[in-house]
Structure formats: C-alpha cells, structure tokens
Amino acid sequence: MKKNKKEEKNKIEVDIKEEEEVETKETSNSKNDTQVDLKERVEELEKTNEELNDRLIRRLAEFENYKKRTDVEKSEIFKYAAESFIVKILAVHEDLQRSLTHIDDANKDALNQGLKLVAEKFTQILDEQGVKKIEAKGKQFDFEYHEALLQQPSNDFAPNTVIDEVESGYMYKDKVLKHAKVIVSQEVVENKDEIEENNSGE
C-alpha cells in the first residue's frame, strides 16, 4: 500500500516536471519567435526609414535646384525688364541725332518741324507705357501731385491755385514718378498804410 502511494507520488512528480519542461520549452520557443519577429520588424523599419531619408534628400536637392533656377530667371527678368521700352526710346534717340547733324541757318523751319515730330513720337511712346504728364497749371494745389517752390500773391487766381509750372510732373499708371514743381497763388493782403488811410478817410 505504502509502495503504491510512493510510486504514485513519484509518477505525479515526473508528470509535473515533464509538464514544466514542456511549458518552459514552449515559453522559450515563443520568446525566440517574438525576438525573431521584433528583429525582422526593426530591420523592416530601418529599411523604410533609410528609403524615406533618401527620398527626402532627393526632394531637398530638387527644391534647391528649382530655387536656384527661379532666382536666376527672376534676376534676368528684372535685369532686362526695360528692354522693350529702351528699344523704342532708341528710335527717338536716333531721330534726335539725325536732326542735330543737319542743323544750319538754311533749314531752321525744317529742323523745328522735325523736332516737333520727335517730341510727339516720344510722348506717344511714354503714353503707351502708361506714363502721363500731370496737369498742374490752373489746378488746385495738391501735395500728392505738386511740389510748391514758392507762393505768389495773385488777384487773378483763387488762393492755393497753381499759377505756373516750373518743371513738369509725371505719373506712371497710378503712381507719381515725379512731382510737378509749381508756383502757387496766395491771397493778396492790402498794404497796411493803405488800410489805415482808408479807415481814417471813413
């Protein structure tokens, strides 16, 4: 009876040990599988990261090249922006040069007429570019468009009216390129002695 109990006890212990070994082996295998999976995942992520870095570096290089190209193009546009205008101005310059080479007493009238035509051509070119002369004389003084050089008393004009234009002013589209330099009227103040005489006469 005792022997049977002892054998049974030993058998149970052996079974438990075997079960523990199996569990340990399974756990070990599971750990190994997990480590393998993690290692593969890390390698995969490192590879993906490397690819993304390569792409980013390529994109940055492409952007830098694009930026340089754009800067060069922009610089060229600004550098030669006035080219078409200068070509038109050169035509006027040539006309003036031709006129100057033919100056003598015999052709004063023809020269005068020629210079008028050149001036008209010049005005037309400026007009096409959006450059217009500021109308000043007879207008109310406006500091946005006029620069007052001096004021003169005047009975012929209302106070603060442009009575004469010393230098012309010009607009480029809606921007003032050059203010018109003008003389502005001011109210006439009667002589003090005359005022006193008038008052005493009354």
- Please report the domains of the chain, with CATH numbers, ordered by start residue: 133-202 (2.30.22.10)
Report which of 72, 118, 70 is spatially closest to residue 91, judged by C-alpha positions. 118
pLDDT digits (tens, 9 = 90+) for 144-196: 999 999 999 988 899 999 999 998 889 988 889 899 999 999 988 766 555 45
Q: What is the pLDDT of residue 23?
A: 62
pLDDT digits (tens, 9 = 90+) for 21-78: 656 665 655 556 677 778 888 888 898 999 999 999 999 999 999 999 988 888 888 8
pLDDT digits (tens, 9 = 90+) for 3-19: 555 666 566 666 666 66
Entry pTM: 0.51
Is 178 exposed, middle or buried (CB count within 10 Å of its CB: 0-12, 13-18, 19+)? middle
